[in-house]
Structure 1
Amino acid sequence: MNPKLLFWVPALLRLALLFVPAGVVWWMSGPVSGLAFALLVVVAVLVVQLNYLRQLGEWLGDPTSVKLPDGWGAWTDVFARLYRIRRDDERNQAELAEWLARFRQAMQLLPEGVAIMDDVLQLEWCNPSAERHLGLSDERDKGRRVTNLVRHPEFIDYIILGRYEQPLTLTFRGRKLEIRIIPFETRRQILVTHDATESERIEAMRRDFIANASHELRTPLTVIVGFLEIAMNDPGLDAATRLAHLKLMTEQAQRMQRLIEDMLTLSRLESDEYPLKREQVNVKALVESVAAEARALSGGRHEIDVKVDGPDVMGSAEELRSAFGNLASNAVRYSPDGGRIVLSWERGQNDLRFSVRDSGIGISPEHIVRLTERFYRVDKSRSRETQGTGLGLAIVKHVLLRHGGRLTISSEPGAGSTFTALLPNTSLPT
């Protein structure tokens, strides 16, 4: 049906129904009374229409679906349509607000910094990462020029020159940052920052590891190659000299073997391909075994005591043996003849502790914080004399990390050292 007819037919029918009583009054009381009654009906209808217009005006001032009034006649359809439109609009606004909240939450959790600038480089918005990287504040700095907030010559040149094909790398606020500018819409730009400090540190560690490993392997290889050249060029070597050379080559080959084994152990501990396999570990038997190995390494040159007053734990017996054994062997290597070494396992107030206390040469405070670094040595010449690889404490640290623990070191030059492997109480068998 024609929409116009849908409006006018019901409207005319309602008017007819209103004027029927007026006709009855005309017929019963005369034309004057009938016209007066009809006028009264018209005024009443007009007042009703004006009242609905007033309600509509008030609702438009604060349009919510809850406050929308009911209507009569044609107003019923008008208000019903407005109600549907407003409900759809409220639903769209709720969805938009939800997506905006998700977007803001994602931007807050994003490790990369994101800042939006207008065409004159005024800050419009930034996430927490950008605040940390560049020292900005979304509340305080909104509307201010970014070049006035980040006063770094390279950064200012990068933004002003507009050469955004390659990212800018700079050191700012003690961090190494990679910065990109991405044009956005017609009058906006997105500034993206990436903190490359950790990546740079890992890359430096990788370079140092390769350099140190190459250096450690080169020395024994040089010895072995040198003796082999002597043997090839001088076939008339006497048996005693040849035997001495073979002994030295064997020692250097064993040194390389230990180094390679330790590097493979470290690689396995750091790899996700080798998850920790937990089992109940008889710590008393393990510590006694470690003590026996330490006594064999000492050859009777040290007094080695054992104190076990703690429970078994859940963990990798092989890895814990490696960690505890490295601590014990270090104590033997760096304690003078006649020194005393105590291996103890006990339950602390909030943790479980394996301690190795020695009466050795001790360590200066400036070296303690770096002892667990790969190939770090306090005394390189002494380390080579004791056949250390420089990876023992790094292995200890990674084993304890895999078990949720940590290593503490207390030492005083000339008064010995105490290395303590702390394991959490969650390692206890259930």
Structure 2
Amino acid sequence: MNPRLIFWIPAVMRLVLILAGAGCVWYFFGLIAGLVAGMAGLCVLLVVQLHYLYQLAEWLDHPSSARLPDGWGAWTDIFSRLYKLRRDDERNQAELAEWLARFRQAMSLLPDGVAIMDDVLFLEWCNPAAEKHLGLQLGRDKGMRVTNLVRSPEFIDYIILGRYEQPLTLNVRDRKLIVLIIPFENRRQILVTHDATESDRIEMMRRDFVANASHELRTPLTVINGFLEIACAQPNLDVKTRLSHLKLMAEQGQRMQNLVEDMLTLTRLESVDYPLRPERVNIHILLDQILQDTQALSGGRHDISLEVDGPDIKGGTEELRSAFGNLATNAVRYTPEHGTIRLRWKLKESGPEFTVEDSGIGIRPEHISRLTERFYRVDKSRSRETQGTGLGLAIVKHVLLRHDATLAIESVPEQGSTFRVKFPRKAVCEDTLEKGTGT
């Protein structure tokens, strides 16, 4: 039905009823009484309309679907429509509030900084990453000009020139930031910041790794090529000299092979394609093999002992063999003749612990934090003498990371060093605890 008819038919019917009632009173009580009755009916109708108008005005001041008044007559339909509109509006507001909360939560989790500015660079909003990158505080800095908050000549020039096609590299608070401004709408701009400090550090590590690897490979290649050139230029060398050259080439070839194997091991440990597959590690067998290898490398020049008083653990046997073997090998290489080396496996309250203690040359404190870096050497000349690749402790670090273990280093120059590998309690094979493992 036509909405106009829905409104007008009840209104006309009410007027007809009032006039009919007034006519009846006129018929029975006279003209004056009929007029009075008609006026009274119209006044009542007017008062009702004014009452509902007042309620509508009150509701419009504080609109809420919960307190919308009930109506009478045409007001019933009016209030019903208002109720529906208000409910739809409240539902839309709730959805908008939910989406806004999700947006803010998503923005707060972004690693990149996002700040919204108006056309005159006043800050309207920023996420926590932008606060961290630029030293802002939204509650304090909202409504302030961004160029007054980020006091950098390069940033101000970037803003003034307005060449936003290329990002700006900015050094702020000892961090390297990539800054980009994106205009949107007509009167707003988005300021995006990306912290490139870590990626720069990784790139530097990559360059250092390539440079160090190239340097390490250059020396043995130079030796081998040099002797080959001599062999080609002087084919009548005596047997003794030729054997000496072959021996040196074999040593340098073995050095290159060790270096390549260590680099491949590091690559495998860092690759997601080779996840750790935990198995039961028989500690007694593993450490007995480590002891034998260490004694073979020492050749009787050191006093080496092993103490095992702890349970088996879950992990990668070959990876742990490599890590423990590197620690024991380093102890032999950096301990003078007749020195002592102690290998221990014990169960502590926090978990199992493997210790390599030596009476070697020791390490100065400034070097300890960098020992697990690739190709880092405290004494480069001694490392070459001992045929080290410079990757042993880097391999140890990555193996322990895969086993949720940590490496602690204690050292006193000229007195010795202690390397402690600490495993979490969850790595223990509980059945070995029940049987007892002290030996």
Place the TM-score, normalised by the shorter chain, in its bin.
Answer: over 0.9
Q: Is the 8 A contact 2:181 2:192 kept in 1?
A: yes
Match of 2:426 in 1: 426
Q: For structure 1, which segment, 27-36 or 247-256, has the greater mean C-alpha deviation from structure 2 after superposition?
A: 27-36
Match of 1:276 in 2: 276
Partner-residue secondary structure (3-state), 1:193 = strand
Displacement after TM superposition at 1:131 (Å):
0.7
Match of 2:175 in 1: 175
Q: Could you report, residue by residue, the CA deviation over 1:7-60 in whole angstroms, capped at 9, with x for unpaired residues?
A: 211222233334544444444433333333332222222111111001100100
Structure 1 counterpart of 2:255, which letter?
A: R
1:249-398 paired onto structure 2 within 5 Å: 249-398=249-398
CA distance in 2, matches of 1:4, 1:155: 64
Partner-residue secondary structure (3-state), 1:66 = helix
Match of 1:402 in 2: 402
Matched, 1:63 2:66: no
Match of 2:72 in 1: 72
Q: Is the 8 A contact 2:223 2:249 kept in 1?
A: yes
CA distance in 2, matches of 1:245, 1:313: 47
Match of 1:220 in 2: 220
Q: For structure 1, which segment, 191-200 or 160-169, has the greater mean C-alpha deviation from structure 2 after superposition?
A: 160-169
Match of 1:233 in 2: 233
Match of 1:412 in 2: 412
TM-score by length of 2: 0.95
Structure 2 counterpart of 1:226, which letter?
A: G
Partner-residue secondary structure (3-state), 1:139 = helix
Q: Could you report, residue by residue, the CA deviation over 1:344-367 in whole angstroms, capped at 9, with x for unpaired residues?
A: 111222232111001101000000
Structure 1 counterpart of 2:363, which letter?
A: I
Q: Could you report, residue by residue, the CA deviation over 1:46-105 in whole angstroms, capped at 9, with x for unpaired residues?
A: 111111001100100011111111101000110111111111111111111111111111
Q: Could you report, residue by residue, the CA deviation over 1:290-317 in whole angstroms, capped at 9, with x for unpaired residues?
A: 1111111111111111111111111111
Structure 1 counterpart of 2:404, which letter?
A: G
Matched, 1:52 2:65: no
Identity over the aligned pairs, expressed in percent? 69
TM-score by length of 1: 0.97
Structure 2 counterpart of 1:311, which letter?
A: P
CA distance in 2, matches of 1:414, 1:240: 40
> Closer, same or farther in 2 for the Cα pair 1:27/1:428, shift >3 Å?
farther
CA distance in 1, matches of 2:23, 2:303: 128
Q: For structure 1, which segment, 4-13 or 100-109, has the greater mean C-alpha deviation from structure 2 after superposition?
A: 4-13
Structure 2 counterpart of 1:251, which letter?
A: E
Q: For structure 1, which segment, 372-381 or 302-311, has the greater mean C-alpha deviation from structure 2 after superposition?
A: 302-311
Q: Could you report, residue by residue, the CA deviation over 1:264-309 in whole angstroms, capped at 9, with x for unpaired residues?
A: 0000001111111111111222111111111111111111111111
CA distance in 1, matches of 2:169, 2:39: 85
Match of 2:434 in 1: none
Match of 1:16 in 2: 16
Match of 1:90 in 2: 90
1:44-193 paired onto structure 2 within 5 Å: 44-193=44-193
Displacement after TM superposition at 1:197 (Å):
0.3
Runs (5+) with no aligned partner, structure 2:
431-439
Displacement after TM superposition at 1:109 (Å):
0.6
Displacement after TM superposition at 1:380 (Å):
0.5
Structure 2 counterpart of 1:423, which letter?
A: F
CA distance in 2, matches of 1:357, 1:14: 106
CA distance in 2, matches of 1:49, 1:368: 89
Q: For structure 1, which segment, 30-39 or 380-389, has the greater mean C-alpha deviation from structure 2 after superposition?
A: 30-39
Structure 2 counterpart of 1:171, which letter?
A: N
Q: Is the 8 A contact 2:405 2:423 kept in 1?
A: yes
CA distance in 2, matches of 1:12, 1:154: 76
Match of 2:436 in 1: none
Match of 2:242 in 1: 242
Displacement after TM superposition at 1:202 (Å):
0.3
CA distance in 1, matches of 2:3, 2:76: 16
Runs (5+) with no aligned partner, structure 1:
none
Partner-residue secondary structure (3-state), 1:86 = helix
> Closer, same or farther in 2 for the Cα pair 1:429/1:35, shift >3 Å?
farther
CA distance in 1, matches of 2:13, 2:361: 112
CA distance in 2, matches of 1:153, 1:188: 22
CA distance in 1, matches of 2:231, 2:110: 64
Partner-residue secondary structure (3-state), 2:67 = coil
CA distance in 2, matches of 1:283, 1:172: 51
CA distance in 2, matches of 1:287, 1:418: 17
Structure 1 counterpart of 2:64, which letter?
A: T
CA distance in 2, matches of 1:181, 1:220: 52
Root mean square deviation, CA, Å: 1.3
Displacement after TM superposition at 1:152 (Å):
1.1
Q: Is the 8 A contact 2:405 2:422 kept in 1?
A: yes
Structure 1 counterpart of 2:289, which letter?
A: S
Partner-residue secondary structure (3-state), 1:170 = strand
CA distance in 1, matches of 2:309, 2:28: 117
CA distance in 2, matches of 1:7, 1:77: 9
Structure 2 counterpart of 1:130, which letter?
A: A
> Closer, same or farther in 2 for the Cα pair 1:70/1:247, shift >3 Å?
same
Match of 2:433 in 1: none
Aligned length: 430
Structure 1 counterpart of 2:49, which letter?
A: Q
Displacement after TM superposition at 1:422 (Å):
1.3
Q: For structure 1, which segment, 281-290 or 323-332, has the greater mean C-alpha deviation from structure 2 after superposition?
A: 281-290
Partner-residue secondary structure (3-state), 2:307 = strand
CA distance in 2, matches of 1:426, 1:276: 15
CA distance in 1, matches of 2:426, 2:28: 101
Displacement after TM superposition at 1:425 (Å):
1.4
Q: Is the 8 A contact 2:351 2:428 kept in 1?
A: no
Structure 2 counterpart of 1:416, which letter?
A: G
